[in-house]
Structure 1
Amino acid sequence: MRPKFRKNFFEYDEFLLLYKHPVKNICFILSDEEGSILGGITGTIFWYSLHIDSLWVDESLRGKGYGKELLTNIENIARENRCKLIQLDTFSFQSPTFYQKNGFECQIVILHPILLKKFILSFLRL
């Protein structure tokens, strides 16, 4: 039911029709020679923006540049699709400083009652 509601909502909103942009799901996977998944990044392109849904790198590979490489790959796809904004949200225990080191700026901090702080970060240099 939710997909149909969203489809109807977006189809009939006249303002949004002016900025209609195809929705694309993006995914890059980091794997070893045996095919085991060691990391990846997923995102959704819509309205000339990219929302990064998830980024994960296996603990054994952290600090070796793989996260930055995944971000660069998805940023290149955003450029190719004429995105004007990359956005993501993350919690304080999910390393918001990693994203800030890679050019994201914190737009808002929300105090979550259980999960500490939630950060909304955006990247505007496309």
Structure 2
Amino acid sequence: MTGRQRSAAAALRVGGRDDELDQRLDDELTAFNTAAADGASTEPLTVRVTDETGDLIGGLTAWTWGSLCSVDMLWVREDQRHAGCGSRLMRAAEAEAVRRGCTDMTVSTYSFQAPGFYPRLGYREHGRIPGVPGGHEDICFHKRLSTAES
């Protein structure tokens, strides 16, 4: 029996968090993607802002892969919103992405989060998924970094 043939003994299991599965899928997809992208590897990127006492004001997590940077999460503490912190986080991530050789950056936000924020930073809406979650929209943005001021 080859690896592509289905086994009668195969078991399907559905559940919640599975750290072992998460790590295995990450390892397998990273290897596949690295080979497909001529050796480009995925690297994490984080940016954080803290106050004078060391408390977190805001942060950003992203990854870079070849010429792409994609933001996973951006959060700013409520008392610091609309004070420029989010812009500082994004600009710092963009600068680091350019330093790493990225020419493009993507981010997605829900319609109840910050869809007006990203266009002010030069991001262009690239698509919407209506109705998720619960009647809202998932809005995808893209920015070409090669012509952006970082």
Q: TM-score when scaled to structure 2?
A: 0.75
Higher-Rg member (1/2): 2
- Cross-structure match for 1:9: 32
Alignment of 1:64-83 (within 5 A): 64-83=83-102
More helix by share: 1
| Among candidates 128, 131, 143, match of residue 109 of structure 1 | 128
Runs of at least 5 residues in structure 2 that lack an aligned partner in the other structure: 1-23
Instruction: Name which structure has the greater RCO, CA cutoff 8 Å, separation 6+.
Output: 1
Instruction: Say whether 1:94 aligns with 2:113.
Output: yes
Tell me which stretches of 4 or more aligned residues in structure 1 moved more than 3 Å.
Answer: none
CA distance in 1, matches of 2:105, 2:114: 17
The Cα shift of 1:91 comes to: 0.4
Task: Figure out how many residues of one structure are paired with residues of the other and give that number.
Answer: 122
Name the amino acid aligned to 1:124: R
Q: TM-score when scaled to structure 1?
A: 0.88
CA distance in 2, matches of 1:118, 1:79: 26
SS in 2 for 1:68: helix
Runs of at least 5 residues in structure 1 that lack an aligned partner in the other structure: none
CA distance in 2, matches of 1:84, 1:11: 18
